[in-house]
């Protein structure tokens, strides 16, 4: 059976050469005669995987030794609780840039630990990333969601002049473009969009920021445990770490983050251009705030949207329906999604418009 064009928002399409390498590694990792799922996490073979994954992340991401690279067995939602648990005392305030569903969850969790100040908000339409922030007098940190996976907006530069460290949920755009490390205390991301499988998150955090966390937390809830134990306090998600390493090596083969970023911009521009010139399709996000990863759009009628989904499924284009809470359509075109697939969607949008 041939593979479909997968527009899923995550878990999402992964690079095919990586999937092929992983198939072989399931059987035999690096000629060891034992598969990646079967190797002890304390053995030499997995140690080598962990080391080369971290080395690739540092090289491709331009991440210096002042930042720790941590693997945590859980998705990004885990950090919605873990970040305030570590950094937000009862008297502290976190400033949150509110751009949609994910920042709402960030705020709900933070309120369990301390105070939340909304530094900016694009509610209720969530079609922009606000250009003006009003910060509280002395926030403990400033949180933003670099790419809003559901509404389809993306910060093209981090929030300006933050009065404290930025903490960023980059689940749906980490390693899709050069990393903006300046000003950041922490960037975290679930892996299942641009980096690997679900159920594992990557944390890139300044070591001196992590050291300011509240002491006395349970070991797996304390970011410093992952620093001190090299993400090996307990058995990590060995396969997830292997996959992240292979995907990042693939990004290096593609020319690195600048090259991948240009390709992602070009892919998204093809779709936005088609939507902006259409009489029946309309992009949700406003120019300047549009995501290169998740292109959200609507048709003028529900019948048109239904026709697009039906014809897409027949043509082998899968996963175009929007998020269950907001409806409409969403094309998720992460790093591994082929440019040719975007052309096929553009053609289909033209065809459905012509036949309407
Ligand atoms: N943040 C963002 C921006 C996301 O897109 C997602 C998942 N779609 C999450 C957080 C939650 O990730 P997980 O389900 O892996 O916890």
pLDDT tens, 210-268? Answer: 999 999 999 999 999 999 999 999 999 999 999 999 999 999 999 999 999 999 999 99
Query: What is the value of pTM for the model shown?
Result: 0.97
Provide the token pair at 186. 């922490």
Instruction: Tell me whether residue 11 is in a domain.
Output: no
State which H helix or E strand residue 239 sits in.
Answer: helix 238-253
Q: Clarify whether residues 208 and 349 are in a common domain.
A: no
- Between CA 7 and CA 193 the distance in angstroms is 11
Question: Which whole-number Å values give the CA distances from 172 to 143, 150, 179, in the listed order?
Answer: 15, 10, 13
> Residue 11: is the preceding peptide bond cis (ω within 30°)?
yes
Nearest CA to ligand 1 atom 12: 76
Q: Are residues 142 and 212 in the same domain?
A: yes
Q: Which atom of ligand 1 is nearest to the CA of 190?
A: 15
Q: How many domains does the chain have?
A: 2
With respect to residue 2, please indicate whether it lies within any of the assigned structural domains: no
Mean pLDDT over 57-65 rounds to 98
Q: Tens digits of per-residue pLDDT, 145-164?
A: 999 999 999 999 999 999 99
Greatest C-alpha distance within the chain: 64
At 356, is the pLDDT very low, low, confident or very high (cuts 50, 70, 90)?
A: confident
- The residue whose CA has the least distance to atom 5 of ligand 1 is 149
Residue 28 pLDDT exceeds 90: yes
* In-domain check, residue 4: no
- Domain presence at residue 245: yes
* Alpha carbons 108 and 332: distance in angstroms, whole number: 26
- The number of helices, as runs of H, and strands, as runs of E, in the chain is 10, 14
- Whether 268 is in the pocket of ligand 1, judged by its Cβ within 6 Å, is no
Average pLDDT over residues 91-109: 98
Tokens standing for residue 192: 């299942």
CA atoms within 13 A on the CB side of 78: 20
Rg, C-alpha atoms of the chain = 21
The tens digit of pLDDT for each residue in 107-141 reads 999 999 999 999 999 999 999 999 999 999 999 99
Residue 9: inside a domain: no
Whether 237 and 273 share a structural domain: no
Distance CA 246, CA 294 (A): 23
Residue 320 lies in domain: 256-355
Statement to judge: residues 79 and 215 lie in one domain: yes
* Protein residue with least CA distance to atom 4, ligand 1: 171
Residue that terminates a domain, selected from 200, 234, 253? 253
| Residue 311 counted as domain residue | yes
The verdict on 168 and 289 lying in the same domain is no
Instruction: Please report where in the chains the tokens 């309120």 appear, as a residue.
Output: 111
Last residue of a domain, one of 195, 218, 253: 253
120 and 238 co-located in one domain = yes
Separation CA 343–CA 89 (nearest Å): 50
Is residue 143 within 8 A of residue 94, CB to CB? The reply is yes
- Asked if residue 234 lies in contact with residue 109, where contact means CB atoms within 8 angstroms, the answer is no
Looking at residue 198, its pLDDT comes to: 98
Q: How many A from CA of 256 to the centre of ligand 1?
A: 24
**Centroid of ligand 1 to alpha carbon of 77 (angstroms):** 6
340 catalytically annotated: no
CA of 142 to the centre of ligand 1 (A): 19
pLDDT band, residue 1 (cuts 50/70/90): low
Phi/psi at 4 (5° precision): -85, 165
Cα dist from 81 to 68, 87, 114, 206, 212, whole Å: 20, 10, 12, 19, 17
pLDDT bracket for residue 326 (50, 70, 90):
confident
Last residue of a domain, which of 203, 233, 253?
253
User: Based on the domain organization, do 237 and 275 belong to the same domain?
Assistant: no
- Residues 203 and 266 grouped into a single domain: no
């Amino acid at each position: 059976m041939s593979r479909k064009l997968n527009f899923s928002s995550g878990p999402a399409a992964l690079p095919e050469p990586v999937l092929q390498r992983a198939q072989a590694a399931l059987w035999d990792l690096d000629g060891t005669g034992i598969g990646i799922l079967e190797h002890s996490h304390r053995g030499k073979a997995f140690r080598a995987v962990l080391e080369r994954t971290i080395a690739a992340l540092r090289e491709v991401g331009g991440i210096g030794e002042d930042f720790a690279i941590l693997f945590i067995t859980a998705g990004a939602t885990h950090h919605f609780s873990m970040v305030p648990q570590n950094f937000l005392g009862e008297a502290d305030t976190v400033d949150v840039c509110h751009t949609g569903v994910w920042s709402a969850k960030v705020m709900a969790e933070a309120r369990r630990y301390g105070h939340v100040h909304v530094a900016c908000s694009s509610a209720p339409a969530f079609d922009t990333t606000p250009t003006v922030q009003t910060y509280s007098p002395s926030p403990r940190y400033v949180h933003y969601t670099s790419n809003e996976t559901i509404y389809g907006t993306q910060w093209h530069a981090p929030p300006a002049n933050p009065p404290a460290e930025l903490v960023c949920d980059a689940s749906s755009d980490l390693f899709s473009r050069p990393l903006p490390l300046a000003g950041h205390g922490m960037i975290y991301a679930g892996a299942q969009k641009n980096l690997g499988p679900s159920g594992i998150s990557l944390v890139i955090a300044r070591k001196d920021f992590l050291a300011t966390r509240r002491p006395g937390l349970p070991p797996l809830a304390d970011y410093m445990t992952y620093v001190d134990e090299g993400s090996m306090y307990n058995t990590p998600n060995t396969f997830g770490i292997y996959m992240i390493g292979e995907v990042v090596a693939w990004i290096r083969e593609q020319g690195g983050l600048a090259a991948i970023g240009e390709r992602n911009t070009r892919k998204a521009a093809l779709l936005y251009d088609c939507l902006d010139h259409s009489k029946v399709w309309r992009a949700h996000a406003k120019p300047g705030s549009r995501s290169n990863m998740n292109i959200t759009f609507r048709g003028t009628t529900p019948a048109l949207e239904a026709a697009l989904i039906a014809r897409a499924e027949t043509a082998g284009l899968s996963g175009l329906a929007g998020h269950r809470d907001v409806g409409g359509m969403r094309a998720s075109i992460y790093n591994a999604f082929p440019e040719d697939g975007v052309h096929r969607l553009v053609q289909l949008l033209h065809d459905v418009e012509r036949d309407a």
